[in-house]
Amino acid sequence: MELRVGLLLLAAFLPAAHADANRAGLYTLPPSKVYIEPCQREALLLHPGIIEKQRVLHRHGDFWVRYEILARDGSESVVQCDLANGEIIREQKLIDGSF
């Protein structure tokens, strides 16, 4: 009887474990978000400081991320990165301190 109960429990958990393995693909980032962390690192290498705002922009199927960075000296910069390849496509140091 114990063997039968053990097999029944094993049979009940196997499909659930297999379903969880298939569900792992749900936690991968979509192609439009893969380069968010590399873009963030590149932006902070160009303009060391604190990211005050991060916005993902979308137009005609293309995705970019825009960082507003406050440097330690009080200066502010805007850096835009292409999420298709992780390249910085625009950077600007703001003079008046407003985004």
pLDDT in tens, 50-80: 999 999 998 888 899 999 999 988 999 999 9
pLDDT for 32 beyond 80: no
pLDDT in tens, 2-26: 544 444 444 555 554 444 444 555 5
Q: Is residue 56 part of a domain?
A: yes
Q: Is residue 14 part of a domain?
A: no
Residues 6+ apart with CB under 8 A from 97: 74, 75, 76
Q: Residue 68: give its domain's CATH number.
A: 3.10.450.40
- Sign, Cα dihedral of 33, 57, 91, 76: negative
Q: Is residue 80 part of a domain?
A: yes
Structural domain of 60: 29-94
Q: Is residue 10 part of a domain?
A: no
Q: Is residue 18 part of a domain?
A: no
Q: Is residue 20 part of a domain?
A: no
User: For 37-48, what is the mean pLDDT?
Assistant: 95
| Count of domains forming the chain | 1
**Distance, C-alpha 81 to centroid of its chain:** 12
